[in-house]
């Protein structure tokens, strides 16, 4: 969440006061929107990547505080568990050679962090879910020693009132329970930010929702958890279940989970913030001294602190963000769909695809969300998480026929979405060399039907065929993944399987 939260206890009056403050914040946001007080967009994009710390054996290392102390950079922060870090890249203007510049920055930052981690016999790894994680790794004692994580865990546990149940039925089935939200820490992702005007927000958010399934299909990288092969992108079901404040009775009543895709297309950013207040009780009812309406009356810009904090405890896959920069309020769409990794090139290929296709879809005269039922977009997201590059998705028919049809995800991306992404990047002013390099990575993944998840699964099964036990095969796959990640070539070029041992003598 990134908020400076101090651990403490809440009483009933705190929650009532917080609810009142949230309503005043929402009224303040509505007024800011009506008065057109928002900053003009500067075509700014932002990037965050969650990382894992691993040892030479491929096992998680609970060392983030010590590693961060050595890194000593504001670009790197703690994440939920002691084996997690996050790197934040300063906002960049979309255009010209932005992706090459980002690649150079990321490689430099990650190499430096990896060297510092190496001083503690650890290394940095970008992957959706670390295959070697064990249930004993994901317990509350391994949460990062930060007040906001302790407090968030306590509040979600209290709201649920019983153990969290994990039940993911994929290629294999995983069923287990957890006494804390620690399993959420297994999910390491990439967050892509895009600043937009209020007038364009709904179109951009709707476009991002429509293409979320395609993003997952080509970018899946999380097939394993606790030794089981599950969905090709297992983060979404794991994240939902590990933060679910609803006991079974509330689930049966249709109460919405705090991690969700949504249920409708929107017409304004206000719709999402209003839904968050209407549907979700406060987890962290911490009140600021600011009265947002008084600040507005005085001609100032309110921080809307309670609204921002509450918004950070509702885990939409495309989340609205309110912020202030240089004294001006702004809105961003935060895309939280993608897993981390496998390489810097792959991360930026995913980013180029997203920023390009979202711009093109948001500017279409007959937007896709007017032709695709929201329920179909949500079902597409689940199908892409389950089947990855082999998913079939529902999509509007071309031409005058109307209606929707089932298509292969790779065909949809290659034939329809990549040309749109190319046009979108052109509209951003991205140079053709940058555009073609990174969109070419997505095209090759489609041509070879390969992404991080399919490589992990294929290499794991090759290791089993060689006679390794499941645990040994997962560890060997993890070590091989990290070696290839460090070489930096995109995942579609990676040879499947483990390297042959070099004969001695």
Closest CA to 152 of 81, 48, 47: 81
- Alpha-carbon gap, residue 132 to 472, rounded angstroms: 9
For the stretch 230-261, pLDDT in tens is 999 999 999 999 999 999 999 999 999 999 99
pLDDT exceeding 90 applies to what percent of the chain? 89
d(CA 230, CA 169): 7
CA distance 128 to 319: 19
**Calpha distance 50→146 (Å, rounded):** 17
% of the chain beyond a pLDDT of 70: 97
Checking if the pLDDT of 191 tops 80, the result is: yes
β-pairing, 164-169 vs 76-78, is: unpaired
Residue with tokens 């929707």: 404
Q: What is the mean pLDDT of residues 256-285?
A: 95
Q: Cα 153 to the chain's mean position, in Å?
A: 20
pLDDT category of residue 4 using cuts at 50, 70 and 90: very low
Q: How far apart are CA 77 and CA 149, in angstroms?
A: 13
* Cis peptide, bond prior to residue 134, ω within 30 of zero: no
Q: Which residues make beta-bridge pairs with 167?
A: 175
Nearest one of 333, 303, 212 to 261, comparing CA atoms: 212
**Number of other residues whose CB lies within 10 A of the CB of residue 409:** 26
Please report, to the nearest 10 degrees, the dihedral formed by the alpha carbons of residues 102, 108, 82, 167 taken in order.
40
Nearest Cα residue to 37 out of 333, 331, 302, 329: 329
For the record, the structure tokens of 151 come out as 């407090």
Residue 169 CB neighbours (<10 A): 12
The per-residue pLDDT for 10 is 62
**Which pLDDT score is estimated for 7?**
45
C-alpha 155: how far from its chain's center? 22
Tens of pLDDT along 119-172? Answer: 999 999 999 999 999 999 999 999 999 888 999 999 999 999 999 999 999 999
Gyration radius (Cα) of the chain, Å: 22
What is the C-alpha separation between 366 and 362, in angstroms, rounded?
Answer: 10
Predicted TM-score of the model (pTM): 0.95
Tokens 């060392």: give the residue. 63
Per DSSP, the three-state class of 328 is: strand
Average pLDDT score over the chain: 94
Q: What does the pLDDT look like over 383-423, one tens digit per residue?
A: 999 999 999 999 999 877 789 999 999 999 999 999 999 99
Predicted confidence (pLDDT) per residue in 31-74, tens digit = 999 999 997 877 899 999 999 999 999 999 999 999 999 999 99
């Amino acid at each position: 969440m990134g908020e400076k939260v101090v651990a403490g206890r809440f009483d009933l009056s705190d929650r009532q006061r917080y609810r009142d403050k949230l309503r005043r914040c929402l009224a303040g946001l509505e007024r800011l929107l009506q008065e057109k007080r928002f900053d003009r967009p500067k075509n700014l994009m932002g990037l965050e990547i969650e990382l894992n710390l691993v040892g030479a054996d491929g096992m998680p290392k609970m060392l983030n505080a010590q590693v961060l102390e050595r890194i000593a950079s504001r670009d790197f922060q703690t994440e939920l568990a002691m084996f997690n870090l996050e790197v934040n890249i300063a906002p960049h203007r979309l255009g010209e050679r932005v992706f090459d510049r980002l690649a150079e920055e990321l490689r430099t930052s990650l190499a430096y962090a990896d060297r510092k981690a190496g001083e503690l016999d650890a290394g940095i790894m970008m992957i959706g879910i670390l295959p070697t994680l064990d249930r004993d790794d994901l317990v509350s004692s391994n949460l990062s020693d930060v007040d906001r994580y302790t407090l968030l865990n306590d509040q979600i546990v209290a709201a649920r009132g019983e153990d969290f149940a994990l039940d993911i039925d994929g290629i294999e089935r995983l069923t287990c329970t957890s006494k804390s939200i620690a399993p959420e820490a297994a999910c390491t992702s990439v967050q892509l930010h895009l600043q937009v005007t209020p007038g364009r927000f709904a179109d951009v958010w709707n476009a991002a929702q429509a293409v979320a399934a395609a993003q997952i299909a080509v970018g899946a990288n999380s097939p394993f958890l606790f030794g089981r092969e599950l969905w090709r992108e297992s983060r979404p079901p794991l994240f939902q279940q590990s933060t679910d404040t609803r006991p079974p009775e509330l689930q049966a009543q249709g109460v919405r989970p705090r991690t969700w895709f949504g249920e409708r297309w929107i017409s304004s950013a206000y719709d999402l913030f209003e839904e968050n207040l209407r549907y979700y009780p406060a987890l962290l009812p911490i009140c600021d001294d600011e009265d947002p309406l008084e600040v507005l009356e005085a001609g100032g810009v309110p921080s809307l602190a309670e609204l921002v904090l509450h918004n950070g405890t509702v885990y939409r896959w495309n989340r609205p963000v309110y912020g202030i920069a240089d004294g001006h309020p702004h809105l961003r769409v935060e895309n939280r769909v993608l897993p981390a990794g496998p390489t810097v090139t792959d991360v930026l290929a995913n980013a180029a695809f997203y920023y390009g296709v979202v711009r093109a879809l948001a500017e279409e005269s007959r937007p896709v969300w007017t032709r695709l039922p929201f329920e179909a977009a949500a079902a597409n997201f689940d199908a892409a998480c389950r089947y990855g590059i082999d998913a079939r998705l529902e999509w509007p028919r071309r031409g005058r026929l109307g209606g929707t049809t089932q298509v292969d995800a790779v065909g949809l991306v290659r034939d329809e979405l990549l040309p749109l992404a190319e046009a979108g990047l052109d509209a951003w002013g991205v140079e053709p060399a940058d555009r073609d390099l990174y969109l070419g990575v997505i095209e090759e993944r489609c041509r070879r039907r390969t992404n991080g998840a399919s490589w992990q699964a294929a290499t794991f099964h090759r290791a089993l065929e060689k006679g390794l036990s499941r645990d040994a095969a997962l560890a060997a796959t993890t070590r091989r993944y990290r070696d290839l990640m460090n070489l930096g070539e995109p995942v579609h070029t990676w040879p499947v399987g483990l390297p042959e041992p070099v004969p001695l003598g």
